[in-house]
Each structure stands twice: as structure tokens, then as C-alpha cells.
Amino acid sequence: MKGSTNMRLIMYEYLEVNLIGVILLLTMFFYVKKRHYTEQEKDQDKRHFLWMLIFNAFILLADNGIYLLRNRVSQPLIILNHVLCISYFTMNLLFCYEWLRYCIAKLYPRYRQSRIEKFFTLLPCVANAFFVASSPLTGWVYSISKTNVYHRGPMIMVSFSAAIIYWIISACITIREWRHPARSREIDEYITLLVFPIPLIVGNVLQMRFYGLSIIWVCSAVSMLILFIDMQNEQLSRDDLTGLYNRRQTNVQLIWEVSHMPCADYMLLVIMMDIDNFKIINDRFGHLSGDRALRTVAKALKENCRKSDFASRFGGDEFLIIGHIKTEQDAKSIIRRIETSLENINKKSLFKYSLSLSAGYAIRSKNDKVTVDSLLNEADGKMYEEKRSKNCLRIDEA
């Protein structure tokens, strides 16, 4: 009697821990979803993060279902147990797939996979789904006994190995970008991407070693929470209106760039941009039109800067780009691409006004004396020279 009571308490504790994980995941899901779909730009990395939350939550629910169905003997319940097991092992690898896509979207925001790349990326998931879906007949990955108890199959390592493939690929991509000489991110971002899978890998190893232990996806829920907190910290460095980096993060990036110039094998570029006649747009068409103009310019920056460039809203209607270049022509090419993008928008007559920018830039090599102030002052001065030549200075600057 006492043993039965202890077993029941252990079962309740197991189910409770999983349910706490589900509640935690769903809380993060609804928070991120709300932020994700109210922003002008729907970031790909957040979309993959949402799918990871969904898969993690359903895996925990499926795990609870498999646990509750043990020794409940009836044909419908055995069939339900098969459905839960198939869902569990299929979503296991889909979660890993979404993690790889999250890393790619995080490191290369404007990169889009070709159909062939998508096929090969999904191939481990497809292979795993075949083995799992065949298991009710073959027992390859798992089997269900006549007493409705789950047992591991001889090929369960297929799922584990496929998951490890995704973790290794994501780690290689992250390390490659970390070591790239033109990287513009702080080290903490790469460390987060590398550390995230560790609890899952440890959980997998322990669960494979000790039969009956199920801690992988609780560990995953904790990892998702850490990633969620990291995402919220990143939001502090973003401008709410445009989604670009804000002034605070720009200052941090400039200090980092200047400190690394003595050993740089590139030239440091700082571009300052200002929307022409922005005050007139605000006064004549209203502040909502002004906000729309800022978002449009921000989108042009995101689409036309290189993946390694750092783009920010520096303040008001001023934007700043930090990049690494080989020649001065690279700076002119970036500016020209952005200007061409705005010209195309103007031709489509989407607004009652025309959008244009005045730009100035500063370039430094490792042999130059570099300070943050000298970079900003030179870029700012050249920008206002261009603005004067266009005769579009703001009233308070004339």
C-alpha cells in the first residue's frame, strides 16, 4: 500500500513538472507572438522561436499522455499511445530543425534558403518520420506492449543521431560566423547560440543511459526560458518604431569597433543619414506619416545593407550605419543602393511626399588615429554639407 502511494506521488510530481514546463512555454509563446505580430517587420528568428515553443510544449504534453496511458489496456488507448509516441519522436526532430533555422535567421537575417537547401535541411526529419511512422508495425524506434507500456526500439539512436546532426551544423555555422573577421556582433550573442543546446544534449545522453528517466524536454523548456530572456535583453537595444538598433547600442558598437581597429585588416566605415525635409512631412501630413517615413527608410536600410553591417536609428530622423570595407567605393555602393530603393518607392507613388536622404561618411584604417567623436563629427559634417547643397536644411538649422 505504501509502495503504491509512493509510486502515485512520483507520477504526480512527474506530470506536474511537465505541466509547469508547458505553462512556462505557452506564456513565452503568447508574449512573443503578441510582440511579433504587432511589429512592422516580422523577424524570421522570432517565427522559428515560436515554432520551437510550440513543439516543446506538445512534446511535454505527449510525454505526459504516454506516462498516463501506462497499463491502461484497451485497443483505443493503445492506438492513442501510438499516436502520442509518433508525435513525440517526430516533433523531437522538428524542434531541432527549427533551432537550426533559428540560428541561420539570427546570424543571417536576409538569407533565404533555396528549395534544394530546404530539402537537404529537412532530410533528417523526413528520414526520422519514416522510421517513427513505421514503428507500430516494425518496432524500430519504439514499441507498445499488450499492456500498453512504451518500450524503446533497436533504432531509437536514429532519432538521437539526427538531432545531434542538427546541433553540430548549428554550432559550426555559429563558430564560423564568430571567427569571421568582419563580424559586427558581440561575443555574448554567439555564446548564447552555442550554449543553448548543451542542456538538451546532456539530457539526451542521460536519458539514453538511464532507462525511465525523462528530462530532455524539461531541460529544453529551461533553455527556451534562457533564450527568451536573451531576446528580451536584445529588445532593450532596439528602437521600437523601426526595429533598428538604438542610440545606446550604437554607442556600444562604436566603442567596440574603435577598440579593435589596431589589429583590423579592413577599413572602418561610419555613414550618417538624415531624411530630407522630415519636419515638413510631419507638419504637413501628420506624425503618423512621419512614423511611416521612418519605418520605410529603416526597411530600405535593412534590405540594402550587407549582412555584416550595423544599422541603427541614431536619433529623430537620423540613421547610422557601421561597416567594414576594403575601398571607398564600397561606402558609395551602400549609399547608392539605399537611395535607389527609396527612388523606386517614390515611383510607385505610395506616399503623398517623396523620400530622400542626405548622407555623409567617415572612413578609418588601422594606421589612423581613431576616436568615436572624430568618426561621428566627420560623418555628420559631410551629411550636412550635402543637405546644404540640396537646400533642404531644417528651419532650426538654417
Rounded Cα–Cα distance for residues 133 and 119 (Å): 20
Summarised one tens digit per residue, pLDDT across range 189-218 is 788 888 888 877 777 677 666 665 566 777
pLDDT at 41 over 50: no
pTM above threshold 0.85: no
Report the mean per-residue pLDDT for the chain.
84
Q: In which band, very low, low, confident or very high, does the pLDDT at 253 lie, cut at 50, 70 and 90?
A: confident
The residue ranges of every structural domain in the chain are: 2-235, 247-397
Q: Which fold has domain 2-235?
A: Rhopdopsin 7-helix transmembrane proteins (1.20.1070)
pLDDT at 395 over 80: no
57-67 mean pLDDT: 90
Domains 2-235 and 247-397 fall in the same CATH topology: no
282-287 mean pLDDT: 86
Rounded Cα–Cα distance for residues 386 and 378 (Å): 13
pLDDT for the residue numbered 4: 57
For 247-397, CATH number out of 3.30.420.40, 3.40.50.720, 3.30.70.270, 3.30.390.10 equals: 3.30.70.270
The 3-state secondary structure of the chain reads CHHHHHHHHHHHHHHHHHHHHHHHHHHHHHHHHHHHHHCCCCCHHHHHHHHHHHHHHHHHHHHHHHHHCCCCCCHHHHHHHHHHHHHHHHHHHHHHHHHHHHHHHHHCCCCCCCHHHHHHHHHHHHHHHHHHHHHHHHCCCEEECCCCCEEECCCHHHHHHHHHHHHHHHHHHHHHHHHCCCCCCCHHHHHHHHHCCHHHHHHHHHHHHCCCCCCHHHHHHHHHHHHHHHHHHHHCCECCCCCCECHHHHHHHHHHHHHCHHHCCCEEEEEEEEECCHHHHHHHHCHHHHHHHHHHHHHHHHHHCCCCCEEEEEECCEEEEEEEECCHHHHHHHHHHHHHHHHHHHHCCCCCCCCCEEEEEEEECCCCCCCHHHHHHHHHHHHHHHHHHHCCCCHHHC
Rounded Cα–Cα distance for residues 141 and 159 (Å): 8
Report the range of poorest mean pLDDT among 3-7, 52-56, 292-296, 349-353: 3-7
341 contacts 303 by C-beta, under 8 angstroms: yes
As beta bridge partners, residue 142 has 152
**Residue 349 or 237, more confident:** 237
